[in-house]
Amino acid sequence: DTEVTQTPKHLVMGMTNKKSLKCEQHMGHRAMYWYKQKAKKPPELMFVYSYEKLSINESVPSRFSPECPNSSLLNLHLHALQPEDSALYLCASSQSNSVARQPQHFGDGTRLSIL
């Protein structure tokens, strides 16, 4: 079992739906990340939160909206997604906002399918 918990494991939604992905960690980490991973490709960074503030947005479309309610939780709100958004969405956390000091720990991911 990983120490970063993501829910749901699988999600199927229509293009007009609104849904949220959730990520939780209880390791006391102060940096949290969202990645998108297409099949047979490496993960691509989407967002970085450091001390509950958004520090990096990799030019992600506004139909993806991140939220960090507290240091243990990270959400990704989804609205009006496109079929090409179907992917594995991975959450990660690290002790600080510098991955150079500590490695990122990943969750199992949410497999998202857009109909």
Partner 1 sequence: AQKVTQAQTEISVVEKEDVTLDCVYETRDTTYYLFWYKQPPSGELVFLIRRNSFDEQNEISGRYSWNFQKSTSSFNFTITASQVVDSAVYFCALSEGQYGNKLVFGAGTILRVKS
Determine how many CB atoms are found less than 10 A away from the CB of residue 114. 18
Tokens of 62: 């506004």
Residue 54 binds partner 1, judged by CB under 8 A: no
For β-strands 110-114 and 10-13, DSSP reports them as parallel
- Rounded CA-CA distance 86/93 in Å is 23
- The only residue of 19, 75, 95, 106 in contact with partner 1, by rule CB under 8 A: 106
- The only residue of 43, 46, 68, 74 in contact with partner 1, by rule CB under 8 A: 43
Least distance to partner 1 from the beta carbon of 16, Å?
27
Reduced to 3 states, what is the DSSP secondary structure of residue 83?
helix
* Residue closer to partner 1, measured from CB, 5 or 79: 5
Residues within the interface to partner 1 (CB under 8 A): 2, 31, 41-43, 45, 48, 50, 55-56, 88, 90, 92, 94, 97-101, 103-109, 111
